[in-house]
Amino acid sequence: MSIKQKYLITILVFFVLIFIATFAGRYQSASGVLDYKSDPLFKRLVFDIRIPRIILSIIVGAGLAASGLIMQTIFQNSLADPGILGINQAAGFGAALGYILFPTSNLPIRVIAFVSGIFALFLIILISRQINVYRRLSLIFAGIAVSAFFSAGLGLIKYLADPLNQLPSIVFWLLGSLSTTNWQAVAEITPISVACIITLFLLRWRTNAYALNDSILHSMGIKRNLEIYAVLSISVLLTTVIISYTGLIGWVGLIIPNIARLIFGYDLRRSLPSAIIIGAIFVLISDTMARTLVAGEIPLGIITAFFGALIFVILMFAKGNSLQKNG
């Protein structure tokens, strides 16, 4: 199958799913699915609840997948994603801290989440350089340490939060959810996220280059470290803005990039746009399930973890098999 065909199918699936998601929900209009006119409440519901949620789930999926792919490419490690590296946990910690300190305003939450994320990135790079093991493992070890550190911090915040006032909100939010999404949330999250995604998209070919030796890039006039920090910072901004709103949603940044590379190839010019769409599809499906399967809201993070882990195992089998076949 050619690349063009693959793209076509992916985009087709994407639009079909948007269509389905618009009509899926706990409330079914009594007079039929397409009848907006005789049921104004249904129309309101679709336009003011379902559609903002669909938009945000697309952005969340696109953003987390893009961020994961960029990190995996820069670190040359197909297990590197914001979740494994502890950036998610840091963003969660920062957002929870921001929520406790500034319960009435959203901006400090996003800012503190971002600062935590950057700090985590800095720690990851610092620690993985000190660890003297096989290169790929050192990053993972650093990620485990940083993850644990911020998870502990988060636990501390949960402990300190007044149980009647703030804790219940924090705990459900931590599991990852889009349940409170409305147009205001879309207005808050979308501009920065889309700006970051577009920036990463424009940098897609350039980011391939960072895999080359520092000396080679120097010969081409490129300041490799500077550019890498810049690109990673944009990735971290994208991730933390999303996580600070949705709570901890993992696995998207880990498995979607691997799927995109498997189908579309290594080059970011192909794998990045496809990761963006496939990520959007994945979270769109997951969130539609979260709000439709049962009466209660299922935390989105749980659904992405469930399917994410499943797909992860399948991917490992596939990679293992292909390694064996090619000897």
Partner 1 sequence: MGEFIISIKELSYSYTNGRQFAFKDLNASIPAHSITSILGRNGAGKTTLLLIILGYLKTVHGTIQYYNPKSTEGQKGEILQIAYLPQVETAPEAMSVYDYLLMGRIPYISPFMQPNKKDTNIVNNYAKIIEIDHLLEYPLGKISGGELQRVRFGRALVQESDLILLDEPITHLDLNAKQTMMRLIKYLKSLGKTIIFTTHDPVEALEIADHALLVSNDHKIKFGKATDILTDKNLSDCFDLPIRILFSGNSFGCIVEKRT
Partner 2 sequence: MKNRIISFLLLAGILISCTGPRVGGTEIYITDALGNEVGFSDLPDRIVISGKQTPMLANFAYLFDRAPEKIIAIENRSQSSNAFLSLIDPGFVNKLTIEKGAGAEQISPSQPEAVILKTTMKELIGDQLDTIGIPSVYVSLETIDEIYRDIRIFGSLMDEPQKAENIIGFYNRSKESIDIMVSTVERSPRVLLLQIDQSEGSFAYKVPAGSWLQTVMVDELHGDPVWKKDAGGGGWMEVNLEQIISWQPEVVIVINYQGKSQEIIQSLAKDSVWQEFLQNNSVDIKPFGYDFQSWDQPDPRWILGYVNLAHLLHPEAVDSDVVIDLVREFYMELYGLEPEFVDAEIIPLILPQLG
Interaction site with partner 2 (CB under 8 A): 25-28, 40-41, 44-45, 48-50, 103-106, 159, 163-165, 168-169, 172, 177, 179-182, 184-185, 291, 294-297
223 scored as a contact of partner 1 (CB under 8 A): no
Alpha-carbon gap, residue 318 to 324, rounded angstroms: 10
Q: Is 137 helix (H, G, I), strand (E, B) or coil?
A: helix
Least Å distance, CB 171 to partner 2, is: 10
Number of residues that bind partner 1 (CB under 8 A): 25
Closest to partner 1 by CB, 99 or 264: 264
Name the nearest CA neighbour of 251 among 190, 311, 175, 304.
304
Within residues 230-269, the interface with partner 1 by CB under 8 A covers 261, 265-267, 269
Binding mask 34-73 for partner 1 (x = CB under 8 A): ----------------------------------------
Residue 129, binding choice from partner 1, partner 2, none, Cβ under 5 to 8 Å by partner class? none
Within residues 129-168, the interface with partner 1 by CB under 8 A covers none
Around 126, how many Cα atoms within 13 Å sit in the side-chain half-sphere? 8
Q: Please name the amino acid found at residue 21.
A: A
Residue 25, binding choice from partner 1, partner 2, none, Cβ under 5 to 8 Å by partner class? partner 2
Least Å distance, CB 93 to partner 2, is: 18
DSSP string, 144-208: HHHHHHHHHHHHHHHHHS-TTTTHHHHHHHHT---TT--HHHHHHHHHHHHHHHHHHHHTHHHHH
211 scored as a contact of partner 1 (CB under 8 A): yes
Q: What does the H/E/C string look like for 72-121? A: HHHCCCCCCCCCCCCHHHHHHHHHHHHHHHCCCCCHHHHHHHHHHHHHHH
36 is written with which tokens? 């907006």
Residues contributing to the site for partner 1 (CB under 8 A):
76, 202-206, 208-209, 211-213, 215-222, 227, 261, 265-267, 269
